[in-house]
Amino acid sequence: MKEIASREKDEYYMKRALSLAVLGQGETSPNPMVGCVLVKEGRVIGEGYHHRCGGDHAEVEALKDAATRGEDVRGATAYVTLEPCCHFGRTPPCAQRLVSEKIARVVAAASDPNPKVKGGGLAVLREAGIEVSCPCLEAEARWLNRGFIRVQTLGRPWVTLKAAASLDGRMALSNGESQWITGLEARTEAHRIRASHDAVLVGVGTVLKDDPELTVRHVEGRNPRRVVMDSQLQTPTDAKAVTGDGGCLILTASKDAARKKRLEDAGARVIALPEKDGHVDLNAALSCLAQEGILTLMVEGGPRLLTAFMEKELGDWISIFIAPKIMGDGPGLGTGLSFASVAETLKLKGLQARRVGEDLLIEGRFTCSPDL
């Protein structure tokens, strides 16, 4: 019974640490989101989270909070949503800081997949005589930092495919018209999802057809980085994605120096990548985005771009808004995919569905998505 009570207590404080960690969403990349709660004699004496890349880590924020409260942290337990770091980066190592502050026990939700850490932080704590308990609510902690884990283990971001379609799966009419398939509530929710990602990616076809801003509207939130997949550098220099605040990143297979210069003069960054089948190699593109510090990527392109990601099994998650409409002929989600049998088709797991205004939002993880 004592062991159960202790585990429940650990999970209680870890849930608080996780709720703090998520406050850093959108600001910490390429670092993970981390929260920390300091507990002594049954009281929370300090707490904090990693606010932004380059700023203090969660453990230091919590120690500072305890100092502000006039609390003595010696002998306290630190609940941290990720293994404390043990290397010098933009900030000093947190594991050694916890040792110097004479923390008695550390409960970590999950180990850090970063090769520079990967158990090293916990080892520093144990060698100093600190009691270490790990994992605790590991699944929740790893899901929170799925983008960080993807980059550290696979060298690519976590990829969400987003689409709006009719009941018969069409993303546009046969004449190309697609605005608006879904209602305002669904579009608002789509912007909320967009704000939770580090970057949003569209193909040049979407830029030429719709000239999207790729910003967050309807809701409060930070604008993700704008990325355009443009194999032949057809993006207009006056496209909203290019001229908007912060410009955009254009990934291309083109070697046309004159077009590149015009786009860069307009405010874009252009990166040439390897070509595959006449298009930018998607694996190279994702590797490039990871190197740019992007942990989570939302793909909002048209049917062809979404199909390309699904064909290469590079999507992790899908968010599809289904409108109660029959649109008949026209391009649809998955147009261009071909399977020899139903058993080979792409499948989802952990399916979630909810009504958003007059539309339905269906979300789930592709079964081909590697485990976290």
pLDDT in tens, 272-305: 999 998 899 999 999 999 999 999 999 997 899 9
CA distance 71 to 62: 11
Given pLDDT bands bounded at 50, 70 and 90, which one contains residue 220?
A: confident
HSE toward the beta carbon, residue 232, CA cutoff 13 A: 5
Q: pLDDT exceeding 70 applies to what percent of the chain? A: 98
Residues 302, 305, 311, 312: what is their CA dihedral angle, to the nearest 10 degrees? -150
Run of H or E including 94: helix 94-100
Q: Is the pLDDT of residue 5 over 70?
A: no
Q: Is the pLDDT of residue 2 over 60?
A: no
pLDDT at 246: 80
Q: Is the pLDDT of residue 243 over 60?
A: yes
Which range has the top average pLDDT, 100-114, 170-184, 210-224? 100-114
pLDDT at 299: 97
E runs forming strands in the chain: 35-40, 43-49, 77-80, 105-108, 131-133, 158-166, 199-203, 225-229, 249-252, 269-272, 275-276, 279-280, 296-299, 317-323, 348-356, 359-366
Q: In the beta sheet, which residues pair with residue 170? A: 332
pLDDT at 3: 54
Please compute the mean of the pLDDT values over residues 56-69 and round it to a whole number: 96
Q: Is the pLDDT of residue 310 over 90?
A: yes
* Averaged pLDDT score across all residues of the chain: 93
Catalytic residue positions?
Answer: 59
pLDDT at 237: 95
pLDDT at 4: 52
pLDDT at 90: 66
The region, left, alpha or beta by phi > 0 then psi within -120 to 50, assigned to residue 67 is alpha
pLDDT at 111: 95
Please compute the mean of the pLDDT values over residues 108-123 and round it to a whole number: 92
pLDDT at 88: 66
What angle in degrees, to the nearest 10, is found between the helix axes of 58-69 and 2-21? 100
Q: Is the pLDDT of residue 307 over 80?
A: yes
Q: Is the pLDDT of residue 221 over 90?
A: no
CA distance 332 to 310: 13
Q: Is the pLDDT of residue 115 over 70?
A: yes
Structure tokens that stand for 32 in this block: 């993970």
Non-local CB neighbours of 183 within 8 Å, separated by 6+ positions = 323, 357, 358, 359
